[in-house]
Structure 1
């Protein structure tokens, strides 16, 4: 089964965020996701998705300056209280927007000597988030990010995600599998998806190595989308790429792969 979402943090950036909801709907998407929605009031986002008859599938717990080169919040031992405050903020948005899944970004460790401490902190914080969001019936996911784009990211392979799942062993915790990031790490994405689909709560994609739309790189999307479509996966597949042309023009793949 293939159901696609438009990630409004990377797609339709030709327009301000409030206008991207309508653009996504016009392009043929039935659902959207946002990396960090907190720049807009929750009621405004709720109204926008209601007006366009869209579903907001996913957003992330705030990660502070992670995307600007910082370590984030989820793994830093000295920032446990800030992480819990971020979870409370996410919870307030989730109560109104009712996403299917919420993502917790593991973050970086910029001091290799403290890596073990950061990994322990992340697992404790992730278990906390999984328990909090379970009360709303929302799955908690976390993702591996390639260490080429984010040096020092503490979870950067599929095997490391599996290790985290094993350590925490929480029924509301799943992997978010990003085809772009794992392709950049040289992993067999199709093989991983076939073997571990039951532990995956959300999937995202972009072509690799450039992170553009399908057809701009080396990823075999036909095979990967066939694997997803013929599996028991019931979640959404998020288009989280950087268009190399106008976003609408970049979405020709949607007509090819979307469920009719």
Structure 2
């Protein structure tokens, strides 16, 4: 299995996003993912990525106003038009970067009295996004985020996510399985991996609870996790979305340790 460096989390010591592409390539990575690429011009990112011969495996859709607490727009009834424009932007970046996966962030759930309306809008928005992305050959990903890390996030369980997949019925709509969140949501990773496997479109890793390297001290046995993924036949990428305990390069030993490649 191939590891993709998450450039919003890794190589922060290198500087800005463009410099992190350089640092990832220098460290030996061939694959990268970027949660938030929108602070840089798409053409600049394309030039750096192509010059370094890196493959972009994932971006997120624009989250809205991050500084004001927005974490996606899909569930917000009053942001329907802004959400659809954000999908246009995500497609433009994905096409520039030749990226075939977009994680569409759900957003923070509105007050309870708007929940029914929010559910309806979320389904409509994700169906719209999945259809638009499918036309470009791009997989649309949904990622549940555990309530401890992000209280109030709209999409907080895998049962919820599977329900939306069954309701929307778009073949390119898949689940992004972040083991850091899955362990805290499900408890049993064996069951989560096996039950979700047919719908998994991307995997990310970090240790629980401190979100450091997979081989750092913590609650998840990543030797078992990677074994289960191999047994199930997962042939996608492993997104390294963690906070380095020290420097990024000092903590990369886990990749060889678990028999993965850059």
Please say whether Structure 1 and Structure 2 have the same fold, judged by a TM-score greater than 0.5. yes
Displacement of 1:235 after TM fit? 1.7
Where do residues 97-246 of structure 1 align in structure 2 (5 Å cutoff)? 97-214=97-214, 215-246=216-247
Cα distance in 2, alignment partners of residues 55 and 10 from structure 1: 17
Q: Which moved more, 1:180-189 or 1:121-130?
A: 180-189
Query: Cα 1:195–1:55, aligned 2, differ >3 Å: closer, same or farther?
Result: same
What is the SS of the residue equivalent to 2:170? Answer: coil
Cα distance in 1, alignment partners of residues 66 and 144 from structure 2: 14
Partner of residue 84, structure 2: 84
Does the 8 Å contact 1:12/1:23 carry over to 2?
Answer: yes
Partner of residue 9, structure 1: 8
After superposition, the C-alpha distances for 1:154-192 in whole angstroms (9 at most, x for unaligned) are 111111111111111111100011110121224322221
Does the 8 Å contact 1:66/1:107 carry over to 2?
Answer: no
Displacement of 1:71 after TM fit? 5.5
Does the 8 Å contact 1:103/1:142 carry over to 2?
Answer: yes
After superposition, the C-alpha distances for 1:36-66 in whole angstroms (9 at most, x for unaligned) are 1111111111111111111000001101135
Does the 8 Å contact 1:74/1:106 carry over to 2?
Answer: yes
- Segments of structure 2 that go 5 or more residues without pairing to the other structure are none
Partner of residue 48, structure 1: 48
Where do residues 239-258 of structure 1 align in structure 2 (5 Å cutoff)? 239-257=240-258, 258=260
Q: Say how many residue pairs are matched.
A: 259
- Segments of structure 1 that go 5 or more residues without pairing to the other structure are none
What is the SS of the residue equivalent to 1:129? Answer: helix
Cα distance in 1, alignment partners of residues 198 and 222 from structure 2: 20
Partner of residue 59, structure 1: 59
Q: Runs (4+) of structure 1 moved beyond 4 Å?
A: none
What is the SS of the residue equivalent to 1:192? Answer: helix
Does the 8 Å contact 2:71/2:105 carry over to 1?
Answer: no
Displacement of 1:72 after TM fit? 3.0
**RMSD of aligned residue pairs (Cα, Å):** 1.6
Cα distance in 2, alignment partners of residues 245 and 181 from structure 1: 22
Does the 8 Å contact 1:21/1:49 carry over to 2?
Answer: yes
Cα distance in 1, alignment partners of residues 66 and 164 from structure 2: 20
**How does the TM-score come out when normalised to structure 1?**
0.94
Cα distance in 2, alignment partners of residues 87 and 254 from structure 1: 33
Cα distance in 2, alignment partners of residues 179 and 28 from structure 1: 24
What is the SS of the residue equivalent to 1:243? Answer: coil
Displacement of 1:86 after TM fit? 0.5
Query: Cα 1:177–1:66, aligned 2, differ >3 Å: closer, same or farther?
Result: farther
